[in-house]
Structure 1
Amino acid sequence: MADGKYARVERERRFLLAGEPDRRAVTATRRLTDRYLTGTRLRLREMVHLETGEAVYKLTQKLPGDQPDWGLTTTCYLSPAEYRVFATLPGAVLAKTRYSVPPLGIDVFDAPLAPLVLAEAEFDSEAEARAFRPPAGAIAEVTADPRFTGGRLVTVEPGELRGWLAEYGLQLAVLQ
C-alpha cells in the first residue's frame, strides 16, 4: 500500500498487557481524550503532555488497509478554538493515559475499561514491523483483532470486554 496524496501508511502492532508499565522506564506521559464522532470514521483527540502541560489537538481519520495491521491515516492539527467547535459534535469518548516506553506507547484506560492495558508500536517499514518481538509482559498480540481498536473499545460494555479478555486467558475482576 502506498501513501496517498494526503494520507500516510500507518503500520502498527498492538499487544494486550497484564499490567501497567514500570514507571522507571517511562520517558513521557500524556493524557488522551478521544471523541469518536458519531456516524463518521473521525476521531477528535486532545493530548495533554503531563510533564509540560502542553496540549495538542488533532482530528484524525483512520482507514483500514489491505492487511489488519496497516492502514491509512490522515491527521489535521487543530487550534484550541477549532477543537472546541468539533468537540460539540456528538460522539463517544474514550480516555486513557499513554506512557512512552520506547518503542512502545502503553495505554492504561480509564473506567469503564480500567484496568485494560494495551501497548502499541508503529513502524516505518513492513520489514521492521515483522521483525519486532512482543514486549515483556505481553499476554497476546491483538493487532488483527478489531475489537481492540479505539473505535470499537469506545462502545464496548465492561461485561463484553471481560469476555474478550477471558479469551486471551486474562481475568480482570475490576471491570464493572
Structure 2
Amino acid sequence: MADIDQATAAALGWPKAKYAWVEHERRWLCRVAPLERTISAQMFEDLYIAGTQLRLREALPTDGGPPMRRLGRKADVSASIRLLTSIYLSPGEFSLLSSLPGKRLRKMRHSLGRVNGADLFIDVFEGELSGLIMAEAEFDDIESMNAYPMPDFACLEVTEDIRYTGGRLVTDGLPTDHSTFLTSGQG
C-alpha cells in the first residue's frame, strides 16, 4: 500500500494494511465489444449487500471451470484507486450469504489478457444495465495507469465518473445521459 498512507487506510476502515491490497484501474465506455480479442470469459453475478461496502461475487467461467465465490469489501481512495479485501467462500457459505438483502448486477467479463502492461477486460452488462459495455484496465502502479492510452475500441473514459462504478450502477441504474452518448458522435 505504498501509495496510500496508513491514516487514510485507517479512516476507510482498514486499520491493518497487510489485509488489503490496492487496486489501480481505469474505465472506458464502448459502443461495441471486441469479442474477437477475448482469451477467456466469466459470467459475474454480484450482490451488493444493502447498507455496506460489501460485494458477494460468483464468477462462472464459460469454459466450464470451477466457479469462484468470494465476499469482497472496497473503499475508494480516489476514482481510480481503491482498497480491497476478499474472502473466498465455500458453496455453503456463499449460499447462506446470498440471502442477504441487496441489489444484484450481472455481466459477462471478457479478458483480453495483458495489453501494454495492463490487464484488460470488457464487461458486457445484462438485465437493467443491458446495453452498457465498459472496458476496464487494471495496473500494477500509478505510473503505468497514468501513462496508459485509451484502448482503440473505447469511446469515452469514465474513470472519474462515479456513476459508472458497480455500486452506483446497481443502485442508480444507467446515467440518464448514457443513451445520448451512445447515439452521439462523442468519443
Give the alignment's TM-score, normalised by structure 1: 0.88
Q: How many residues align?
A: 166
**Aligned partner of 1:11 among 8, 24, 29:** 24
1:90-110 Cα shifts (integer Å, max 9, x gaps): 010000100011231110000
What's the offset of the Cα at 1:116?
A: 0.5
Decide whether aligned partners of structure 1 residues 105 and 112 sit closer, same or farther in structure 2, where only a CA change above 3 A counts. same
1:20/1:108 contact within 8 Å kept:
yes
Structure 1 runs of 4+ with >4 Å offset: none
1:75-97 Cα shifts (integer Å, max 9, x gaps): 11111111001101001000010
Structure 2: runs of 5 or more not aligned: 10-16, 114-118
- The alignment status of 1:39 with 2:55, answered yes or no, reads no
| CA distance in 1 between partners of 2:137 and 2:161 (Å) | 15
- The alignment status of 1:91 with 2:139, answered yes or no, reads no
Q: Secondary structure at the match of 2:100?
A: coil
What's the offset of the Cα at 1:138?
A: 1.2
Structure 1: runs of 5 or more not aligned: none
1:11/1:124 contact within 8 Å kept:
yes
1:162/1:171 contact within 8 Å kept:
no
1:142/1:148 contact within 8 Å kept:
yes
Q: Secondary structure at the match of 2:182?
A: coil
| CA distance in 2 between partners of 1:70 and 1:105 (Å) | 17
Q: Secondary structure at the match of 1:154?
A: helix
Sequence identity percentage: 39
| CA distance in 1 between partners of 2:169 and 2:96 (Å) | 24
- The alignment status of 1:78 with 2:92, answered yes or no, reads no
What's the offset of the Cα at 1:47?
A: 0.2
Partner in structure 1 of residue 165 of structure 2: 149
| CA distance in 2 between partners of 1:54 and 1:147 (Å) | 32
**Aligned partner of 2:154 among 138, 142, 148:** 138
| CA distance in 2 between partners of 1:101 and 1:42 (Å) | 27
